[in-house]
Amino acid sequence: MLNKVAALGQATLNSIAGAGAALIMLTRALVGKPQLRKSWPLLMQQMYSVGVMSLIIIVVSGLFIGMVLGLQGYTILVDFGAEQSLGPMVALSLLRELGPVVTALLFAGRAGSALTAEIGLMKATEQLSSLEMMAVDPLRRVIAPRFWAGLYSMPILAAVFSAVGIYGGYLVGVRWLGVDDGAFWSVMQANVEWGHDIMNGIIKSVVFAFVVTWIALHKGFNCTPTSVGISKATTSTVVTASLAVLGLDFVLTALMFG
């Protein structure tokens, strides 16, 4: 009995210590004298592998999610003779929810797992220790550019996702099912607002970017440096990041649109 209580206490202490370690890692990586000349090429490289390489999966899934929204929305709305509301339905669900959230989930799977595995392998092969041997801070050299790249890339990816999704809804709704072209856009424009809908969606995706990248980097940096440890850390990144995104999304939606 006492052993179980002790195990619970141990688990609690471990999770608190983990959160503390993650915060310390992030502050030590980000706070300090900025060295633009050195960090700019590193950032570019990471923007390429984190952002540009994720573009294809984002565009394809955005297009298909928009098309499905158009198709499903049409079959329901046409019963009420309200198929002209298809535009705002597709646009609002993409801008407010699906754009930021699905992008964050895909990003966690596509880029977050790669970040964890990369850093975990660097740790396992003692590349991080050798950087320290050469008096290069691995936090500034390895963690910081990856963090900034994730933070910059995800809002861009979310905007691309929403834009492509709206176009997908347009393709299915207007081109295939015959919703009126003018009404599709004008009713959408009457219902979507720059500040309320688009900006809040971008704020959401920035928050998700912060959380997902942070979790991925922390899991990689603190993993057990074995093959089992890396595989566990990669799985844990995807699970934790996805749960964190979904939970945070509810809180953010309640704050912004509640």
Partner 1 sequence: MESRNTQLAVGLFVIIGVLALLFLGLQAANTNVATAGETYRLYAKFDNIGGLKERSPVKVGGVVVGRVSKITLDGDYYEPLVEMVISKQYNEFSDTTSVSILTSGLLGEQYIGLNPGFIDDTVQMLEDGDRIYDTKSALVLEDLIGQFLFSQGND
Residues that bind partner 1 (CB under 8 A): 41, 44-45, 47-48, 51-52, 55, 91, 95, 153, 155-157, 159-160, 162-164, 166, 185, 188-194, 196-198
**CB–CB of 103/157 below 8 Å?**
yes
Minimum CB distance to partner 1 smaller for 128 or for 188 = 188
- How many whole angstroms separate alpha carbon 179 and alpha carbon 206? 34
- How many whole angstroms separate alpha carbon 219 and alpha carbon 116? 6
- How many whole angstroms separate alpha carbon 164 and alpha carbon 146? 26
Least Å from the CB of residue 224 to partner 1: 32
- How many whole angstroms separate alpha carbon 168 and alpha carbon 164? 6
Question: Coil, strand, or helix at residue 116?
Answer: helix
- How many whole angstroms separate alpha carbon 252 and alpha carbon 104? 14
Residue 88 neighbours by CB under 8 Å, 6+ apart: 187, 188, 190, 191, 192
Minimum CB distance to partner 1 smaller for 90 or for 233 = 90
Least Å from the CB of residue 157 to partner 1: 8
**Any idea how long the chain is?**
258
Burial of 19 per CB tally in 10 Å (0-12, 13-18, 19+): exposed
Least Å from the CB of residue 187 to partner 1: 11
The separation between CA 23 and the C-alpha centre of its own chain, rounded to angstroms, equals 19
Least Å from the CB of residue 44 to partner 1: 5
Least Å from the CB of residue 107 to partner 1: 14
Backbone φ and ψ of 125, nearest 5°:
-90, 10
Least Å from the CB of residue 167 to partner 1: 8
